[in-house]
Amino acid sequence: MEKDYRILITGGKGMLGKAILKLFNKENLNFKILDLPEFDITKKEMVEKEIKNYNPTHILNFSAYTNVDRAEIEKEIAFEVNEKGVENIVFFLKEYNFKIIHISTDYVFSGEKEGEWEEDDLPAPINVYGLSKFYGEKKLYNLKDYLIIRTSWLFGPGGENFVKKISEKLKNGENLKVVKDQRGCPTYTKVLAEGILFLIKKEAKGIYHFCQPPSTTWYEFAVKIKEFLNLKNKIEPVLSEEYKTLAKRPKNSVLSIKKIIKKFNYNIPNWEESLKEYLKEL
8: DSSP letter: E
Q: Are 18 and 189 in contact (CB under 8 A)?
A: yes
Determine contact, residues 79/40, Cβ cutoff 8 Å.
Answer: no
Residue 94 sits at φ, ψ, to 5 deg, of -60, -40
Catalytic: 129? Answer: yes
- Among the options 54, 65, 129, 266, which is catalytic? 129
CB half-sphere exposure, 26, CA atoms < 13 A: 10
Cα first-last separation, the chain: 36
Please tell me whether the peptide bond between 214 and the residue prior to it is cis, using omega within 30 degrees of 0: yes
HSE, CB side, 13 Å, CA atoms: give it for residue 258: 8
Beta carbons within 8 Å of 247's beta carbon, 6+ residues apart: 68, 69, 71, 72, 127, 128, 129
SS3 category, 128: helix
Measured in degrees and rounded to the nearest 5, phi and psi for residue 197 equal: -65, -40
11: left (phi > 0), else alpha (psi -120 to 50), else beta? left
For residue 250, which phi and psi values (nearest 5 degrees)? -65, 140
Active site residues: 129
